[in-house]
Amino acid sequence: MRPAKTQAEPPAGSFPIRPVLGIVLGFLAGLFFFRAAFPDPTLELPSVAVPPDPLPALQGLRKKKASGELRIFVAGASMTAGYPYQPLGSASYATQLEKGLRACFPGRPIHVRPSAKPALDSPQLLRMVRKLLDYDPSLLVVTLGSNEYANRLFSGHRLVPRGILPRVVDRFSLGRRFWYAFSQYLQGPGGTGESEDALNALIKKVLEAAPGKPALSGLPFDPEERSFLLRRLRRSMREISKLCRAREVPLVFCVAVYGLDGSWPWGLSKGVDPLGRARIDKLVHSFRAGERSAAFRDQVHKALDRFPNAAVLHYLQGQLAKEAGDLKTARASLERARDLDTVPMHLTGPILRSILGEARAEGRPVLVLDDAFAAADQDGLPGPAHYLDYGHLDAEGHGLLAKFLMKELAARSLLPPPPRDWMRLFDTATKAWLDQVLDPAKRARAPTNMAWADGNFALLFGNFREGFYYLKRAFAGNPDNPEFALRLLFCAGALGKKLEAWSRGGKMAKTRRFFDLYEKMRKALEAGKLDAFLFEIAGLR
């Protein structure tokens, strides 16, 4: 005898709705639990660099400042560190501000310390601020905005997955904790991650790149990733402001510099096929060779119609407009080029607006450091004077920035009123300091060293066109360095499709070939014919 079916049993063939609902509800409950138990650690995503421990800026300071002491910390990244001048910090605008203040207020204990390291982004600056606030500052200045996208770029890992299922899985905070573990790994023993080591490892990947083929994965950025990183920036700023408010320490945010006039886009243009890229490269080479005819301008406009998202074409349009005196169009085009760059290793418009908006929402003063230079330029565009590249200044530029801060901070009563002749005192003190601390030969080679670094980055991004010009400038500034020559030949040979022929033969044959080319390059430089020699190799004639 078969038992009678109970009411709870579903009829044969019906959909098992209750078990499925149980699974779904269990999934959602688990999701809620894990997100509550493990909050999304977006502030701890991996960085190329972390602050050193202990911070060099704190050396020799007591935790409590002396009576009458003026103690200012300036937190930032490579620009605040005075890169590429060595030792780091020696040429920094923060250090020069200290020398100028001491000259204006003799006898008063004054310390203005740059607390900076290349490649730090806003979450890492937040970590540094926590330590700086333990040392009783009179004022904290935080310069940010230059590395918000850079660490995502160098990690090569997408922060926002593509596809529905990966996005659902990503919402588990446990998944994001991988990033926290990875960031801890990057820090190394004792939390002293070395940005120099990480960046040098990236530079070694240059030889894996080719024209139009980056050596880094994860390019280009998705719009969702940029939005994610902007939220992280704003969240870091809110936390910095909260910490300063709790300690009753005045806080000023500063927007890092960006040389709008003179900073060619890094990345390969989006939506451009190889034939289009060759067409654009030809226009760029013609512009750099001095071509300004009406026919050339027409070609640029037609190319823009064909490739509206090509950042470098907007940059060309901006330069042509500037030369024609149309500064409104020039600024708009150069800003468009900056924001369309597929490799945003710099400040962008959305980053700028995020910093300004968040600072104002927190009731904090905010300074745009480019303003120190834009007013001095007749065209009102920051750069190229005093800009070694897109985001680094020469030593004199740091001095101008220090004076700009002196004036702006005093106007906000964050510094004591300066004496009437403060500019003379300031200039004399900073000039004497730079003459004392910077070796003249190394100081003269700062632009060369910056061009070398930028050339390698351009190759890393697959932009051999820009890499060629940077590395050519580096070799011209230091022809005695065979490494500079070798990298330039690699770039020119790749552009001219000569690497395969050069690689034939044994080690001795290849070594002789390199030194023969190296000697010819040196002679061409001495004879003023370096461009002709290299253009022939690169097939740019």
Mean pLDDT on 174-201: 44
How much of the chain exceeds pLDDT 90, in percent?
A: 70
Same domain, 72 and 104: yes
Question: What is the reported pLDDT for 30?
Answer: 53
- Residue 121: band (very low, low, confident or very high) from pLDDT cuts 50, 70, 90: very high
Domain boundary among 304, 322, 340: 340
Residue 85 falls within a domain, yes or no? yes
Residue whose pair of structure tokens reads 């709008």 in the numeric block = 260
CATH number at residue 300: 1.25.40.10
Question: What is the reported pLDDT for 359?
Answer: 98
Mean pLDDT on 72-98: 97
- Residue 42: band (very low, low, confident or very high) from pLDDT cuts 50, 70, 90: very low
Domain ranges, residue 531 = 444-540
Domain boundary among 415, 438, 461: 438
Residue whose pair of structure tokens reads 């780091």 in the numeric block = 88
Residue 528 falls within a domain, yes or no? yes
How much of the chain exceeds pLDDT 70, in percent?
A: 82
Same domain, 388 and 461: no
Query: Considering just the CA atoms, what is the radius of gyration of the chain in Å?
Result: 27
Same domain, 393 and 330: no
Give pLDDT tens digits for 403-458: 999 999 999 999 999 999 999 999 999 999 999 999 999 899 999 999 999 999 99
Q: Phi, psi at residue 115, to the nearest 5°?
A: -110, 90
Out of 9-13, 234-238, 257-261, 364-368, least confident range = 9-13
Residue 266 falls within a domain, yes or no? no
Cis? peptide before 214, omega within 30° of 0 = no
Residue 42 falls within a domain, yes or no? no
Residue 4 falls within a domain, yes or no? no
Same domain, 302 and 399: no
Q: Rounded to whole angstroms, what are the CA distances from 483 to 200, 474, 489, 494?
A: 14, 11, 10, 16
Distance separating alpha carbons of residues 344 and 461, to the nearest angstrom: 11
Same domain, 300 and 323: yes
Same domain, 227 and 79: yes
The residue with greater pLDDT, 339 or 43, is 339
Question: What is the reported pLDDT for 316?
Answer: 98
Question: What is the reported pLDDT for 380?
Answer: 85
What is the chain's mean pLDDT, rounded?
86
The residue with greater pLDDT, 219 or 173, is 219
Residue 26 falls within a domain, yes or no? no
pLDDT reading at 509 higher than 60: yes
- Residue 177: band (very low, low, confident or very high) from pLDDT cuts 50, 70, 90: very low
Same domain, 142 and 179: no
Mean pLDDT on 270-298: 94
Question: What is the reported pLDDT for 36?
Answer: 42
pLDDT reading at 501 higher than 80: yes
Distance separating alpha carbons of residues 179 and 172, to the nearest angstrom: 12
Question: What is the reported pLDDT for 395?
Answer: 98
Contact (Cβ atoms closer than 8 angstroms) between residue 59 and residue 127: no
Contact (Cβ atoms closer than 8 angstroms) between residue 63 and residue 106: no
Same domain, 456 and 535: yes
Distance separating alpha carbons of residues 216 and 154, to the nearest angstrom: 7
- Residue 49: band (very low, low, confident or very high) from pLDDT cuts 50, 70, 90: confident
Task: Read off the pTM.
Answer: 0.85
3-state SS assignment for residue 148: coil
Same domain, 470 and 336: no
- Residue 43: band (very low, low, confident or very high) from pLDDT cuts 50, 70, 90: very low
Give pLDDT tens digits for 321-380: 999 999 999 999 999 999 999 998 889 999 999 999 999 999 999 999 999 997 666 678
Same domain, 362 and 507: no
pLDDT reading at 28 higher than 90: no
CATH number at residue 230: 3.40.50.1110
**Domain count for the chain:** 4
CB neighbours of 425 closer than 8 A, spacing ≥ 6?
Answer: 100, 103, 104, 419
Same domain, 322 and 203: no
Mean pLDDT on 25-37: 50
Residue 532 falls within a domain, yes or no? yes
pLDDT reading at 197 higher than 80: no
Nearest of 385, 115, 371, 345 to residue 240 by alpha carbon? 115
Tokens of 16: 């098992």
Distance separating alpha carbons of residues 78 and 85, to the nearest angstrom: 10
Give pLDDT tens digits for 128-171: 999 999 999 999 999 999 999 887 787 766 666 555 555 554 44
Question: What is the reported pLDDT for 154?
Answer: 78
Residue 191 falls within a domain, yes or no? yes
Question: What is the reported pLDDT for 224?
Answer: 81
Question: What is the reported pLDDT for 458?
Answer: 95
Mean pLDDT on 286-297: 96
Distance separating alpha carbons of residues 541 and 528, to the nearest angstrom: 17
Mean pLDDT on 165-190: 42
Domain boundary among 306, 340, 374: 340
Question: What is the reported pLDDT for 305?
Answer: 97
Same domain, 336 and 386: no
